[in-house]
Amino acid sequence: MSTLPDGRYVDDRPYERDLGEEARNADLDVSNTRLVWRRFREHKLGLVSALFLLFSYLMLPFAGFISPYTANERAPDHLYGAPQGIHLFHEGSLIGPYVYPITAEVNLETFSWEYIRDYDNPAKLEFFCEASYYKLAGFIKTNRHLFCAPEGATVFLLGADRLGRDVFSRILYGAQLSLTVGLVGITVSFFIGIILGSIAGYFGGFLDWIINRVIEILRSLPELPLWLALSAAVPSHWSPVAVFFIISIILGILDWPGLARAVRSKFLSLREEEFVRAAEMMGAKPSRVIGKHLLPNFLSHLIASATLSIPAMILGETALSFLGLGLRAPAVSWGVMLNDAQNLASIEIYPWTAIPMLPIVIIVLAFNFFGDGLRDALDPNRS
Partner 1 sequence: MKVEGLTIGFGNAAPVVEDVGFSVEPGETLALVGESGSGKTLSCRAALRILPEVAQVHSGSVVFDGSNGPVDLMGLSERAMCDIRGNRISMIFQEPMRSLSPLHRIGNQVIEVLRLHGTAKGQGAYKRVIETFERVGFADPERIYQSYPFELSGGMRQRAMIAMAVVGKPDLLIADEPTTALDVTTQAQVLGLIKEIQQDNGMAMILVTHDLGVVANLADTVTVMNRGRVMEAGPAPLVLGDPQHGYTKDLFAAAPKIPDSGEEVSREDKPDYILEMRNVSKTYTLKGKAAWHPKIHVQAVRGIEFGVERGRTLAVVGESGSGKTTCARMALGAERADPGAEILFRAKPDADTVNLQDLDTSARLAFQRQAQMVFQDPYSTLNPRMRVKDALCEPMDIHKLGTRPERVDRAAEMLRWVGLSPNMLTRYPHAFSGGQRQRLSIARALMLGPTFLVCDEPTSALDVSVQEQVLQLLEEIRDRLNLSYMFISHDLAVVARIADEVAVMREGLVVEQGPTEVLFHNPQHPYTKALLAAQPEPDINRPINLKIVAQGAGSPSTWPEAYRFDGTSVPPLTEMGLGHKVRCYA
Partner 2 sequence: AQYTESSFWQTDVDAGSLPPIAERLPYVPLVVDLEAKGRVTGRQGGTLRTLVTRSKDVRQMVVYGYARLVGYDETYEIRPDILAALDIEDNRKFTLRLRPGHRWSDGHPFTSEDFRYWWEDVANNPDLSPSGPLEFLRVDDELPTVTFPDENTVIYEWSGPNPEFVQQLAEARPPFIYRPAHFLKRFHAKYADEDSLRAELRAKRVRSWAALHNKSDNMYKFDNADLPTLQPWMLATKDAKSRYLFVKNPFYHRVDTKGTQLPYLDIIEMNVVSSGLVAAKANAGEVDLQARGLDFKDIAVLKKGEAMGGYHTELWKNGTASQIAIYLNLNYNDDGWRNLMRDVRFRRALSLSIDRKIINKALYFGLAHEGNMTVLPQSPFHKPENLTAWAEFDPEKANALLDEIGLTERNREGQRLLPDGRPLWLVVETAGERQEVENALQIVVDNWRDIGVKMIMRPLERDILRNRVYSGQTQSAVWFGWDNGLPQPSTPPMFAVPQQQEFFAWPKWGQYYQTHGEAGEAPDMPEAIRLMELAAAWKQSTSEAKRGDIWQEIVDIHADQVFAIGLLSGARQPVVVNNDLINVPQKAIWAWSPGAHFGVHRPDEFWFDR
Partner 3 sequence: MAMLRFAVFRLFTMLATLVVVSVLIFIIINLPPGDYLSNQINELRATGQSSGVAKAEFLRQEYALDRPLWEQYLIWMGFAPGPHGFSGLLQGEFGWSFEFDRPVAELVGGALWLTVLVNLAAILFVYMVALPLGVIAAARAKTWIDYTSAFVGYLGLATPNFLLALILFYYGNRYLNLPIGGLMDPKFEGEPMSFEKMKSVLVHLIIPTFVIGTSGAAAMMQRLRANLLDELGKPYVETARAKGMSESRMLVKYPLRVAFNPFVADIGTLLPAMVSGSVLVSVVLGLQTIGPVLLTALKSQDLFLSAFVLMFVALLTLIGTLISDLLLALLDPRIRFGGRSS
Q: Within 219-278, which residues bind partner 3 (CB under 8 A)?
A: 219-222, 224-226, 228-229, 232-233, 258, 261-262, 264-266, 268-269, 271-272, 277
Q: Does 282 bind partner 2 (CB under 8 A)?
A: no
Judged by CB under 8 A, which of 103, 212, 231, 297 binds partner 1?
297
Contact status, residue 30 vs residue 101, Cβ threshold 8 Å: no
Q: Does 79 bind partner 2 (CB under 8 A)?
A: yes
Instruction: Classify the phi-psi angles of 233: left when phi > 0, otherwise alpha if psi is within -120 to 50, otherwise beta.
Output: alpha
Residue with smaller CB distance to partner 3, 125 or 177:
177
Distance CA 144, CA 153 (A): 18
Judged by CB under 8 A, which of 7, 92, 152, 205 binds partner 1?
7
Closest by CA position to 58, among listed 179, 156, 174: 179
- State in angstroms the smallest separation of the CB of 13 from partner 1: 7
Question: Which string of b and e fits 179-195 if b means at least 16 CB within 10 Å?
Answer: bebbbbbbebbbebbbe
Taking residues 190 to 229 in sequence order and writing x for each that binds partner 2 by CB under 8 A, - otherwise, the string is: --------------------------------------x-
Q: Does 30 bind partner 1 (CB under 8 A)?
A: yes
Q: Which residues contact 209 (CB under 8 A, 6 or more apart)?
A: none
Residue with smaller CB distance to partner 2, 296 or 330:
330
Q: Does 15 bind partner 1 (CB under 8 A)?
A: yes
Contact status, residue 266 vs residue 202, Cβ threshold 8 Å: no
Tell me the three state secondary structure of residue 289.
helix
- The stretch among 26-34, 64-72, 167-175, 318-326 that binds partner 1 (CB under 8 A) is 26-34
User: What residues between 157 and 176 interact with partner 2 by CB under 8 A?
Assistant: 162-164
Contact status, residue 275 vs residue 296, Cβ threshold 8 Å: no
Q: 13 is in the binding site of which of partner 1, partner 3, partner 2, none (Cβ under 5 to 8 A by kind)?
A: partner 1
Judged by CB under 8 A, which of 328, 351, 354, 365 binds partner 2?
328
Tell me the three state secondary structure of residue 292.
helix
Residue with smaller CB distance to partner 1, 13 or 141:
13
User: Per this entry, what is the length of the chain?
Assistant: 383
| Cβ-based burial of 108 (10 A; exposed 0-12, middle 13-18, buried ≥19) | exposed
Contacting residues toward partner 1, per CB under 8 A: 4, 6-11, 13, 15, 17, 19-28, 30, 32, 35, 272-275, 277-285, 288, 292-293, 296-297, 299, 378, 380-383
